[in-house]
Each structure stands twice: as structure tokens, then as C-alpha cells.
Amino acid sequence: MQHVKPQVYMMRQDDPFKCTAAKLAKFKIAEPVKFIRKDAIVLNPFSETLLTKNDAGIASSVCAVDCSWERADDVAKHQRVFSAGIGRRLPAMLAANPTNYAKLGKLSSAEALAGALYILGDRQTAAEIMNKFKWGHTFLELNANLLEDYSSAETQEQMMQTELEYFPNLK
């Protein structure tokens, strides 16, 4: 299995003391980048294409764009960051971070990276990321069955079906 390197594109819009991406960069678990390569998966909440385990074969890295949820729409409209690389949307997951606990899809950058890496088959790095946070184990526990099922899905259709089985009110 090919390992996909975790990266973060920092927009510095959040409190630096609460920024999960900054903590991952500080501990060298995720590489901070100033530009996104063409062969990088960019976690884009506005992408039509869901991330699947098969994406591990087409990318060298997976990049979380660290921006404030309150500004995500503006970032998507006015910045090219989401159009760089290979855009993929994470399937629905529950947040475990203290700010957005149990809110659907309101993941921190660390949660997004961990979820993506788990789906891509790198459970060890996903756990390593979440172990840096007091609440990190809760993310993996809260989404355990979901992450297992997502990481088993082979196609976009299977991924969408799994997502709708867990969250029937999504669409």
C-alpha cells in the first residue's frame, strides 16, 4: 500500500492556539505547504467527487485547507486553493472537537486529515494525528463504524450509498 503524505495549507484565520493544523505542523505530522501540487488530493467540502480508498493510487499527498468554517464559502469563491490539485469531498462524519462536538461535517483540519487517511488505508497515521489531541480518540470512536464502512467502499456509488445509509437526511 502506498502511503499518502498529510499536508496542510494554512490560511491563518483561526485562533493560533486552537489551530489543529498548526499543531500537526509543529509536531511534523503534517507538512505545511504554500502551494498545492497537481498530484495532491485537496479536501474540498464543495467538491462533487467523494474521496474513496482508490484515490490513494492517484495521489502523493492529501491536503487539508485550514480555514475558518465561517469563511469557507468566501475562500471557495475567491481563492484558487480549492481548484488546485485533485479535489475530493470527505463523506459525512461527526466532529469530536470541543467547538463543534457531534456536529455533522464541522471537522477540524486534524479530523479531516485523519478521516481522509483512514479512508485511504493509513489508519496508523490517522491515529497518530488524533493522538495529539485530548479529544482525538473521541473522533475515531464516534466515527468507528462509519470509517470502517467508508474505507471498504470501492466506488463513488458505494460511498454515496454508505453515506446515505448513515445520514438519510443529507440530500
DSSP annotation of 158 reads: H
The closest alpha carbon to 91, from 135, 53, 38, belongs to 53
The one-letter code for the residue type at 92 is A
Helix (H) or strand (E) holding 88, with range, is: strand 86-88
Separation of alpha carbons 164 and 85, rounded Å:
27
**Residue 65 in marked binding region:** yes
Residue 76 CA: distances (Å) to CA of 46, 65, 79, 104: 8, 10, 6, 20
Separation of alpha carbons 160 and 138, rounded Å:
24
Are β-strands 40-43 and 86-88 bridged in parallel, bridged antiparallel, or unpaired?
Answer: parallel
Beta-bridge partners for 126: none
**Residue 109 in marked binding region:** yes
Exposed/middle/buried for 132, CB within 10 Å: 0-12, 13-18, 19+?
middle
Per the annotation, binding residues for S-adenosyl-L-methionine are 20, 65, 90, 109
Per the annotation, binding residues are 20, 65, 90, 109
